[in-house]
Amino acid sequence: MVHHAAYGLDIEQLDVVVVEDSKPMQTIIRAVLYSLRVARVRVFETVELALEPILSEPPNVIFTDWRMQPMSGYQLLRIVRHKHMEPLCFIPIVFITAWGTRALVNKALRSGAHMVMVKPISPSVIHDRIKWLLQDNRPLILERSGFYNINGEAGDFSEEARDVQSIEQARILHQQGQRRFREMQSVLERFFDQKLDQEAERKVISEVEQEVAQARARELGRVGKVAPKKRLKKSNGFANVRKTG
């Protein structure tokens, strides 16, 4: 079982790398980290500038922005998490971003990030999240893809994918049932438009009504068999995630 590179350390022992293209944010994050008595802070404006230094002297933690050019923070995460990048693949990565959407957070955590913090951030938030990170004992596991991920994250999102698939299947079946029902109603209306005697009319109406009822029962029965949605486990990697929608 492999833990991340900062597990069990004290804040005063940390060697932190910050990858951030905003000068004001560089200043703020550096000042906050030094106020927490972090041993060392190295700041880089781009992923390209950061790669060689972190390869030669691996840090304990990487703080990075999400949206940067030409390489993004997400690309940095994928590079670092590959098994051939050992020991960099064991470094915890924390995203600090202004784009705290649910989709972004899900993508980051599923790809091996330890947490996502949304700007603006305060010194107390950074302190609390670093303390949590140093005690985070979730092991890193090597997936078949060749990338390391945090144990439990991939499974959580697989369950979410299955739930979404079940909901989508229910929606499709419901739409099919509604479409079939409308078709049968159309047939019924056409028969009403015809000049039939009362006995023939009653027979046609009875047959069509039976067909409509059977079609609705079949489709509703299929939808009812769809597995109920499971409650997803709350991930420890969320921090200050904005609500969207």
pLDDT in tens, 210-240: 655 565 565 556 545 544 444 444 444 444 4
In a domain, 208, yes or no: yes
How do beta strands 15-19 and 40-44 pair? parallel
Element (H, E) at 23: helix 23-35
Write the DSSP symbol of residue 223.
H
* pLDDT, position 101: 86
Q: Quote the CA–CA distance of 125 and 119 in Å, as a whole number.
A: 11
Q: 166-215 pLDDT, tens per residue?
A: 445 555 555 555 565 555 555 555 555 554 455 655 665 565 556 555 65
163 and 135 in a single domain? The answer is: no
140 and 172 in a single domain? The answer is: no
15 and 128 in a single domain? The answer is: yes
CATH number for 17: 3.40.50.2300
In a domain, 96, yes or no: yes
Residue 31 above 60 pLDDT? yes
* pLDDT, position 107: 92
Residue 92, beta-bridge partner list? none
Residue 41, beta-bridge partner list? 16
Average pLDDT, the chain: 77
In a domain, 54, yes or no: yes
Structure tokens at 10: 């004290």
18 and 130 in a single domain? The answer is: yes
144 and 29 in a single domain? The answer is: yes
> What is the 3-class SS of 70-126, one letter each residue?
CCCHHHHHHHHCEHHHCCHHHCCEEEEECCCCHHHHHHHHHCCCCEEEECCCCHHHH
Residue 89 identity: C
Q: Quote the CA–CA distance of 101 and 103 in Å, as a whole number.
A: 5
Break the chain down into helix, strand, coil percent, rounded to 5: 55, 15, 35
193 and 76 in a single domain? The answer is: no
Q: Which residues contact 228 (CB under 8 A, 6 or more apart)?
A: none
213 and 118 in a single domain? The answer is: no
Asked if 6 and 140 count as a contact pair (C-beta separation under 8 A), the reply is: no
18 and 139 in a single domain? The answer is: yes
71 and 107 in a single domain? The answer is: yes
17 and 120 in a single domain? The answer is: yes
**Full residue range of the structural domain in which residue 112 is found:** 11-151
Asked if 173 and 222 count as a contact pair (C-beta separation under 8 A), the reply is: yes
Q: Quote the CA–CA distance of 162 and 120 in Å, as a whole number.
A: 34
Task: Give the lowest-confidence range in 28-32, 51-55, 187-191, 231-235.
Answer: 231-235
169 and 91 in a single domain? The answer is: no
In a domain, 214, yes or no: yes
Asked if 21 and 149 count as a contact pair (C-beta separation under 8 A), the reply is: no
Residue 18, beta-bridge partner list? 43, 63
In a domain, 63, yes or no: yes
Q: Quote the CA–CA distance of 82 and 145 in Å, as a whole number.
A: 9
Asked if 212 and 185 count as a contact pair (C-beta separation under 8 A), the reply is: yes
Domains of the chain: total: 2
